[in-house]
Chains A and B, each alone.
Chain A
Amino acid sequence: MSGGTSLWRYVAGRLLQAVPLLLGIIVVNFLLIALAPGDPVAVLLGEYPAPAEYVAQLRQRFGLDQPLPVRLGRYVASVLRGDLGFSFAYRLPVARLVVERLGNTLILMGTAMTLAAIAGVALGVVAARRPHSRLDSAATGLSLVGYSIPEFWLGQLLVLLFAVTLAWLPAQGIRATRETYTGLAALADLGRHLILPAAALSFRYLALIARITRAAMLEVMSQDFILAARARGADERRVLWRHGLRNAAIPVVTVIGYNFAFIVAGSALVETVFGWPGVGRLLFDAILQRDTPVLLGVLLIVSATVVVVNLLTDVAYAFLDPRVRY
């Protein structure tokens, strides 16, 4: 039951389930193009002057004279080949443009998620240790506020406080523009630029994780096996972290994973506030420049990322809960 091969079979099964979901996402993308007012080719080009021969080429490739299903088939095929369109604003294929920016976004998201997971779980556990105590009320209040504040406004407030008023940290960009650092100094420079956006991005997530952790811990700590662990003399620390958190981790990890889409949106907004050169910033610029191909490409790539993260979440769940039958 808990053998290695069956786990891999489970993962393979889940991967297979993800395929129709990915196809569905491509179809949604296609429908958006087809249903949007105006000429689909114009949609695929964006409002940027494109060479006439490319327009003709697109027309032919997508066969606008063909019936809808044929066009859908051609679109799916071209996406599967990795062709997400061409951005005339940047004069680059969309796929390359997005992938180039993805690294910066992942740095920001990864930092924010790690921060949120560690601090959120700690806050939730501490709050659950003594329910309805003053500490718990403070943690609960903090997580309500954190969950309700839009991350882009929090970002602006952080800029106002730490960049404008105190001038401790940079407000914009990913690295210093006036000097060129190398090695460790470059890393430190990146870190300085990362602090504010990561904090702004992680706060809502942190609040959500703290909320879920608290509820899950309260549920677990009232279980019989907690009493049994105390009865055999296990100390409170072990009861709390080994029995309590190990069981609470199952719902918490699920919530963290399944709310990944949530941090995607947050990242786009926070990147805009801090001029972070990632996918979110690209999205913002694409809207300003009416660069529709980029919008479509980002939607596809980001949705696919969400599918992958959900898949990883299910795998993590299977690892964490021995009761899951693969």
Chain B
Amino acid sequence: MNSLVAVAYVPDTETKIRIAADGKSIDESDVKWIVSPYDEYGLEEALKTKEGKGAGAVTVVCVGPERAKTGLRECLARGADDAIWVDSGDSRYLDALATAKAVAAVAKEGKYDFLWFGQKGVGYDESLVGPMVAELMNLPHVGNVVKLEIGDGRITAHREIEGAHELVECSLPAVLTAQKGLNEPRYASLKGIMGAKKKPIAEKKLSAMGIPEADAAGAKTRWRKLDLPPARKACHFVPPDDPAAAGKELVRLLREEAKVI
């Protein structure tokens, strides 16, 4: 059972975001990059599937600039067998449809039973690419997967929705998007890190794939401007010494000043 795992290489959560001079992208100096956390759940599940079956390969793919290769190496170090880098050339915002078309093109060149995505990437936070790939490839998809049971050519995926889990059955091949709770991603061992250096990373160029949305002129979503959120007013502190008085004062403020209760 072969798996293709799509990963996004995004700014680490602790990174302080600064706006670049062009006003529509982030200043990348001092940014630490990581594989998006939700993608790690997808990679881990693919690795577990391969180990469980004792067969199959795990391929990772990332669409991004040169630094994406570092992210791919981290995935190879954890146990992925090979990687594909789709060079997007530069860092500017890429329309999800362009990314999806690139991943679909890569997927069509292999024979994958599972196509894993994170339920969102913590850079653009769009939750679009996985289901778009499913649509482009005319495959069923299950999103927000917190548990996966594999049968004979069929799977049952537990999908997290508001206040409930849906148990979804579908045939393979299928697209799945991983949600927190699916598994605990492993760390790369030293052996894995050394071994990763010998595993292949194939390279493709996004600009050569005939995807109109990859160009600024053909993009179907665009970032016109990037801003920091407006600064919040300083906190109004209520003295804690008399808890009963503090409780009453909070209610008074919420009612009379903030008008929310």
- A and B: interacting chains: no
